Amino acid sequence: MQTRTKVLSLTALSLAAVVFGMILAGSLDFTRAASADAATPAVAPAVASAPARVAPVGLPSFADIADRAMPAVVSIRSTDIIKPDQRRRGMERFFGDTPFHPFFPDRRQDSGEPEEEQQQSGGTGFLIEADGFVLTNNHVIDGADKVEVTVGETDVYKATIVGRDPATDLALLKIEGSRPFPILPLGDSDRIRVGEWVMAIGDPLQFEKTVTVGVVSGKGRAPGLSNVTRSFENLIQTDAAINFGNSGGPLVNVAGEVVGINTAISRLAQNIGFAVPINVARRLIPQLKEGKVVRGYLGVTIGPVDADMQDAMGLPSRDGALVQSVEPGKPADKAGIRHEDVIIRVDQTPVRNNRDLIDYVSGKRPGTKVTLSFLRGGKEMTAVATLETRTEEGQAAEEEPAEDEHREKIGISVEELTPAARRNYAIGREIEGVVLTHVKNVSAAADAGLREGDVIQEVNGRPVGTVAAFRAELKKAGDARFARFYVHRPGPRPANFVVAVRLKD
């Protein structure tokens, strides 16, 4: 009897536990939806009509990525012999007075004595070939008398500067070792998307092999880091934390491939950093190995086709690069290109914007023939230009657009180019046109970027050598909303450009 009672008690307890478990599971939503749907087909339509849930995606293993990449990331120390009258290299010399900073630390000790001293600065790099080629930033080693590279924790090698390119802030070093070096694979920076995870590796503030993680914040950035790099800036923006010492380090994707070379940060914000796309370096590595980068040069300054210029010129779209001026005797001039031409294709490559033309031309060797397709007077035309060598002192291949939006009236006074006017505004005798003697602060001309002393040489493509001719051409514009001015701006560095000036809304 007692045994039977014990069995009944155990059975009751088991049933109670099962019932309690079912109640608990239901209240905590542990029951799988598939079981509920199978048991209650009446609610199936409601479930089917609900928005599909996005399947959760786990984060990549950043530790695994770092383990694979870290052996190929190197520390770089450069040493300069600084004379008393030399300016400190780095921010002052390379970057000038800008809100951007290269991130290598200055470890110079100020002795207070006007004598030669050693200045050591540091940065980061990474091995790209097993025989010892190291990629880094030019500003890390610029002007260095000695460069040392540390691989791993303790292996220090004397490095040779093989080649450097200030325009893209890239440099290639070479170290010699008795065994193959670990390398980092190069990815495809053209394929990365805004929002993708990336990892920055480097030596910020002498904390070696530091890893930070963020995303690609933007592409195609041209922040104006320096006059040297301005024409070729096409940078990746990232919020992966980078600091002094990260210069030249790799920006790595989740596949462990290098997609960028960390170059600069903004001092005006938190976690706004910039990296040179690895595809830029990939194209230049063969030339860097030869010791010097040479680029094709067309000899034009160009600007974008904005909405006002499209309207003023009657263009079918805003695609293309607007020729602002043509340098006499250079390839574009010899090919017959003129200001106000809109280049829409080079060889078989479409030119959607300035960057397309700059990248294509600068990627070609001097002596290369290129076919330019352009719009002139509503018609498509072609010309063949033979590229020359672009020098560092050459004019930038891209000009900032004039501020020419929402104007109500022109607001200018013009005079003919008398000898007195030429003296007052330092205008050469070879320049023809009418000179602006006054520009109202609030006017269409001021909005277009015109200023006193500018010389209007053409209106809507027609020369104007007198005030009467200038007025006549404006009158011919009739009901047009815009007039195109071809302008010469005198000064220490004279410039020619095209602006669209609003005549009426």
Q: Give residue-wise pLDDT tens across range 39-54.
A: 334 433 433 444 555 5
Q: What are the residues facing 261 on neighbouring strands? A: 276
Q: What is the pLDDT of residue 91?
A: 41
Give the predicted TM-score (pTM) of the model.
0.61
pLDDT above 70 (res 292): yes
Mean pLDDT for 405-429 is: 75
Check whether 1 has a pLDDT greater than 80. no
Calculate the CA 473 to chain-centre distance: 40
As assigned by CATH, the class of the 59-293 domain is mainly beta
What's the whole-number mean pLDDT along residues 207-231?
A: 82
- Determine how many CB atoms are found less than 10 A away from the CB of residue 393: 5
Phi, psi for 463 (deg, rounded to 5):
-65, 145
User: Higher pLDDT residue, 458 or 471?
Assistant: 458
What is the reported pLDDT for 37?
A: 39
Average of per-residue pLDDT across 280-285:
91
pLDDT bracket for residue 220 (50, 70, 90) = confident
Question: What are the backbone angles phi and psi of residue 453, rounded to the nearest 5°?
Answer: 100, -15
- Considering 42-46, 70-74, 204-208, the range whose residues carry the highest mean pLDDT is 70-74
Give dist(CA 381, CA 320) in Å, integer.
14
In this prediction, residue 114 carries a pLDDT of 54
Residue with token string 């020359």: 388
Q: How far is the C-alpha of 177 from the C-alpha of 470, rounded, in Å?
A: 71
Q: Note if 247 is an active site residue.
A: yes
pLDDT reported for residue 88: 44
CA 88 to mean position of chain CA atoms? 26
Whether the per-residue pLDDT at 444 is higher than 60: the answer is: yes
User: Could you confirm whether domain 412-502 is CATH 2.30.42.10?
Assistant: yes
pLDDT digits (tens, 9 = 90+) for 106-138: 444 444 555 556 667 778 999 999 999 999 999
pLDDT in tens, 81-93: 655 554 444 444 4
Residue of 75, 78, 121, 139 with catalytic role:
139
- Catalytic member of 189, 217, 247, 373: 247
Does 56 score more than 70 pLDDT? no
pLDDT-derived band at 413, boundaries 50, 70, 90:
confident
Q: Which of 163, 87, 77 is nearest to 123 (CA)?
A: 77
Would you say the CATH fold of 412-502 matches that of 59-293?
A: no
Per annotation, catalytic residue among 165, 169, 404, 447 = 169
Catalytic annotation on 139? Answer: yes
**Residue 315: predicted pLDDT:** 93
Residues 6+ apart with CB under 8 A from 334: 385, 386
pLDDT at 433 over 90: yes
Separation of alpha carbons 409 and 459, rounded Å: 16
pLDDT tens, residue by residue, 355-367: 889 889 988 889 9
Q: Tally Cβ neighbours within 10 Å of residue 346.
A: 21
C-alpha 145/C-alpha 165 separation (Å) is: 18
Q: How far apart are CA 273 and CA 62, in angstroms?
A: 20
Structure confidence at residue 171 (pLDDT): 94
Q: Band of the pLDDT at 411, cuts 50, 70, 90?
A: confident
Strands, DSSP E only, in 166-249?
Answer: 170-174, 197-202, 210-221, 235-238
- Any idea where the domains of the chain sit in the sequence? 59-293, 296-389, 412-502
Residue 387 pLDDT exceeds 90 = yes
Say how many C-beta atoms besides its own lie within 10 A of residue 182's C-beta.
16
Q: How confident is the model at residue 27 (pLDDT cuts 50, 70, 90)?
A: very low
Residue 25 has pLDDT above 50, yes or no: no
Mind listing the pLDDT tens digit for each residue in 152-200? 888 999 999 999 998 899 999 999 988 899 999 999 999 999 999 999 9
Q: Which CATH class is domain 296-389?
A: mainly beta
pLDDT band for 8, please (50, 70, 90 cuts): very low
Residue with the bigger pLDDT between 344 and 81: it is 344
